[in-house]
Amino acid sequence: MEVIRGIGRMREFVREQRLAGKQIGLVPTMGYLHAGHLSLVQEALKACDVVVMSIFVNPLQFGVGEDYEDYPRDLTRDSELAEEGGVAAIFAPSVAEMYPPGGYYSYVDVEKLTEGLCGKSRPGHFRGVTTVVTKLFNIVQPDIAVFGQKDAQQAIVIQRMVRDLNMPLRIIVAPIMREADGLAMSSRNVYLSPSERKASLVLSRALNIAGELAANGERDANVLRKAIETQIQAEPLARIDYVEIVGAEDLKPVEILQGRILIALAVFFGKTRLIDNRIVEV
């Protein structure tokens, strides 16, 4: 496995693979890999020959006061995990390689779908995501790219961007990988103190309760939201950012559950903001 730092070499690697007749898959990440990231690699390997994983903590998608500086980074460990996971090349550019000093002026913006949920709590976040993902698509020119359902809104926004802008690749969305006790895997879980780690189980528990309510015939979105909020508010270390029940495709809030519904939440444990979600089909 090769660790590539420069855009020039990345393009050359891709050219070599194409000449050899290989289909290329891209798995964009911010690194500090866990089994969730590696499951995306597995999905990619089902659909293409050669997987490139990008590892880039993108300053553009962090707001003021967020955890850009503190975000965990360990390229040595990531390289070992990625190689074991079947990645052919890591693309790990510096910030200066992606945003050369002296001015950066071009952005990609997806409207509407970025207004609610995490877009509301983190203004500018999705503009940073769609801009860097477009740059990665242009640099790697993959046939497919894999994103996680863990970041449900991100996956929908990227799919819409690819469709609206006729980007020549296919997006695959892979299921959420969880720890044995239910916590959705995240690089940010390392921030949690032992007591916060225990408290964080309330997220998957609350989503499961909502899922059961829906499975038992409850169709009032407010009842589900209240049930989730009650669970989370009973946990003293948890502070709700949002609990939303929206259409799984258009992300519009729903009153009555019908069709594919996304139940999404973001909750702070101390300074750590965790997200989780669940799809229900009624």
**Min dist. Cβ of residue 230 to ligand AMP (A):** 25
Nearest CB to ligand AMP, comparing residues 147 and 269: 147
Interacting residue with ligand AMP among 4, 14, 40, 192 (CB under 6 A): 40
Pair 224, 242: CB distance under 8 Å: no
Binding region for ligand AMP (CB under 6 A) out of 31-39, 120-128, 200-208, 236-244: 31-39
62-to-66, 125, 141, 257, 277 alpha-carbon distances in Å: 6, 6, 25, 33, 21
Could you give the CA distance from residue 111 to residue 130 in angstroms, rounded to a whole number? 11
Nearest CB to ligand AMP, comparing residues 170 and 219: 170
Bridge partners, residue 29, by sequence? 55
Interacting residue with ligand AMP among 134, 153, 159, 186 (CB under 6 A): 186
Total number of residues binding ligand AMP (CB under 6 A)?
17
**Min dist. Cβ of residue 123 to ligand AMP (A):** 18
Could you give the CA distance from residue 22 to residue 75 in angstroms, rounded to a whole number? 26
40-to-101, 142, 171, 243 alpha-carbon distances in Å: 32, 15, 12, 26
> Is 34 labeled as catalytic in the residue annotation?
no
- Which two tokens mark 105? 């002026």
**Min dist. Cβ of residue 92 to ligand AMP (A):** 12
Interface with ligand AMP by CB under 6 A: which residues?
29-30, 36-37, 39-40, 147-148, 150-151, 174, 176-177, 184-187
Residue numbers annotated as active site: 37
